[in-house]
C-alpha cells in the first residue's frame, strides 16, 4: 500500500519506519513547504502535494494542526472524516465534544476576544488556566490566573489575541494518558494507562507499568477512548490525557487534552512492547489486524529536551536512545531515552542521575 504522511518531523519519520516495516511504500510531506520526500531523507522529490495524494492509497498525519488547504487536497484519501477530526484542532470544539458525550472534564468556558476573557476573569473566584483555542503545546499559548493576583497579572493582549477557553485549575493526584488505536471496523487496541511527569509545562518523563492504578480507571479510560473515536469515526492511533482526581476506589478521570495522532507519552512502547504505537497506527490505516496482545514491560521514557546530544555513556548502556536529528535549543524536544526497569525506585534513580544531561529547559 502507498501511504502519504502529512508532516515530516520525528513522529512522521517513526510512522514511516513502521510503514516500511510492514512492507508499505511511504512518503512524507513537509507541511510548511509542501515538499514531498521519502522516509529518512530530507531531499525533496520533484512531486507536488496533489501528485503525492494521487499516488497514495491512504493519507494520514503526524500532527493535528493541518492547514485547511492541505485537508481539501487530501481529504478523499483520509480514512477518518476530515470535518470530524478538525474538532480536535480547536479546544472549544474538543471540550464541547466531551460534554456532548458525557465525558468529564474540568469546568470550562469559552471566550472569543480580550473583552470576553476579561469578563470571565473578573467574575471568577477560582484559579484558572487560559488556553488558546488553536495551536500551542508544551505549555505554549497558556496562561495562569488567580483571583488573588487579579486580571492585571495576566497578559490579556496575548491571552485574548484569539478565541480560547478557560478551565478551572484542578487539584489532581497525578496526570495520566491512554494511547491506543481504532480501525475501520471500530475495533480498538489500547495500552495501559501511564503516568506523565511535566516540567515547565513540558513532558519530562513517562512511567509505564510503574504506577499502581485501580482497575476501574483503565476501564474508564478505555470507555472514553471508544466513545471519542466512535463519535469521530476515527481510524489510527489517538491519545487522551487525563487528570486523576481522588484516591483509590474513589478516584476518577477528567479529560485534559486529546491528540488525534501518535503521542509523546506513547514513545515508551517502542522499547516496552511487542507492537508500538506507530505499528498500531499503520495496522489501523492499512486494515492489518491488531495483535492479540502487546506484551508490555515496565518502562521509563525520558524526553531529551534542549540537550546538544544524548550523552555518550548512554549509547552502549542498556538504555534505548532515540535522537531526532534536530538543532537543540532550551525547551525543545530533540530525542528520548527508553529504559526497561523493574521498579519505580529504579526509574527515579535513573532520572536523578541522567536528567541533568538530558534536559535543558528555558529560563
Secondary structure in 3-state letters for 230-276: HHHCCCEEEEEEEEEECCHHHCEEEEEEEECCCCHHHCCHHHHCCCC
pLDDT at 139: 64
Q: What does each C-alpha distance from 167 to 109, 117, 187, 305 come to in angstroms?
A: 7, 12, 32, 27
Q: Are 206 and 350 in contact (CB under 8 A)?
A: no
Over the stretch 154-199, which tens digit does the pLDDT of each residue have?
999 999 999 999 999 999 999 999 999 999 999 999 999 999 999 9
Over the stretch 13-51, which tens digit does the pLDDT of each residue have?
999 999 999 999 999 999 999 999 999 998 999 999 999
Q: What's the whole-number mean pLDDT along residues 67-72?
A: 92
Architecture of domain 174-358: 2-Layer Sandwich (3.30)
pLDDT at 149: 87
Task: For CATH 3.30.1490.20, list the domain ranges present in the chain.
Answer: 107-168
Residue 85 has pLDDT above 90, yes or no: no
Q: What's the whole-number mean pLDDT along residues 136-161?
A: 85
Share of the chain above pLDDT 70, in %: 99
Residue 84 has pLDDT above 90, yes or no: no
Over the stretch 234-287, which tens digit does the pLDDT of each residue have?
999 999 999 999 999 999 999 999 999 999 999 999 999 999 999 999 999 999
**DSSP H or E stretch at residue 157:** helix 156-159
CA 39 from chain centre, in angstroms, equals 21
Residue 355 has pLDDT above 70, yes or no: yes
Architecture of domain 2-78: 3-Layer(aba) Sandwich (3.40)
What φ, ψ does residue 83 adopt, rounded to 5°? -65, -30
Task: For CATH 3.40.50.20, list the domain ranges present in the chain.
Answer: 2-78
pLDDT at 141: 80
Mean pLDDT of the chain: 95
Q: Is 248 exposed, middle or buried (0-12, 13-18, 19+ CB in 10 A)?
A: exposed
Residue 308 has pLDDT above 80, yes or no: yes
Helix residue spans in 262-343 (DSSP H): 269-272, 277-286
Domain 107-168 matching CATH 3.30.1490.20: the answer reads yes
Task: For CATH 3.30.470.20, list the domain ranges present in the chain.
Answer: 174-358
Residue 212 has pLDDT above 90, yes or no: yes
Say how many CA atoms lie within 13 Å of 155 toward its Cβ: 9
Over the stretch 114-126, which tens digit does the pLDDT of each residue have?
999 999 999 898 9
Confidence at 150, pLDDT banded by 50, 70, 90: confident
Cα Rg of the chain, angstroms: 20
Amino acid at each position: 500500500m502507498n501511504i502519504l504522511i502529512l508532516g515530516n518531523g520525528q513522529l512522521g519519520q517513526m510512522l514511516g519506519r513502521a510503514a516500511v516495516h510492514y512492507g508499505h511504500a511511504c512518503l512524507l510531506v513537509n507541511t510548511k513547504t509542501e515538499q514531498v520526500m521519502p522516509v529518512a531523507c530530507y531531499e525533496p522529490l520533484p512531486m507536488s502535494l496533489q501528485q503525492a495524494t494521487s499516488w497514495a492509497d491512504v493519507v494520514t498525519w503526524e500532527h493535528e494542526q493541518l492547514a485547511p488547504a492541505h485537508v481539501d487536497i487530501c481529504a478523499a484519501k483520509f480514512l477518518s472524516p476530515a470535518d470530524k477530526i478538525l474538532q480536535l484542532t480547536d479546544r472549544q470544539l474538543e471540550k464541547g465534544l466531551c460534554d456532548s458525550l458525557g465525558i468529564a472534564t474540568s469546568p470550562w468556558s469559552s471566550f472569543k476576544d480580550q473583552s470576553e476573557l476579561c469578563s470571565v476573569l473578573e467574575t471568577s473566584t477560582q484559579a484558572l488556566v487560559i488556553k488558546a483555542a488553536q495551536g500551542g503545546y508544551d505549555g505554549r499559548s497558556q496562561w495562569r490566573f488567580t483571583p488573588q493576583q487579579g486580571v492585571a497579572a495576566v497578559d490579556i493582549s496575548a491571552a485574548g489575541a484569539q478565541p480560547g477557553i478557560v478551565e478551572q485549575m484542578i487539584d489532581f493526584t497525578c496526570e495520566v494518558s491512554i494511547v491506543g488505536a481504532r480501525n475501520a471496523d471500530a475495533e480498538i487496541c489500547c495500552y495501559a494507562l501511564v503516568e506523565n511527569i511535566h516540567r515547565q509545562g513540558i513532558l519530562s518523563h513517562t512511567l509505564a507499568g510503574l504506577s499502581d492504578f485501580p482497575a476501574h480507571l483503565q476501564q474508564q479510560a478505555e470507555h472514553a477512548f471508544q466513545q471519542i473515536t466512535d463519535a469521530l469515526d476515527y481510524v489510527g492511533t489517538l491519545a487522551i490525557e487525563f487528570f486523576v482526581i481522588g484516591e483509590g476506589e474513589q478516584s476518577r478521570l477528567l479529560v485534559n487534552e486529546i491528540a488525534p495522532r501518535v503521542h509523546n507519552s506513547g514513545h515508551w512502547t517502542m522499547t516496552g512492547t511487542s507492537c508500538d504505537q506507530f505499528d498500531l497506527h499503520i495496522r489501523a490505516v492499512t486494515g492489518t489486524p491488531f495483535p492479540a496482545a502487546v506484551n508490555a514491560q515496565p518502562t521509563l521514557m525520558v524526553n531529551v529536551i534542549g540537550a546538544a546530544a544524548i550523552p555518550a555513556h548512554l549509547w552502549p548502556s542498556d538504555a534505548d536512545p532515540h535522537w531526532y536529528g534536530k538543532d537543540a535549543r532550551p525547551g525543545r524536544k530533540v530525542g528520548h531515552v527508553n529504559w526497561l526497569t523493574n521498579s519505580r525506585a529504579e526509574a527515579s534513580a535513573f532520572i536523578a542521575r541522567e536528567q541533568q544531561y538530558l534536559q535543558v529547559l528555558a529560563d
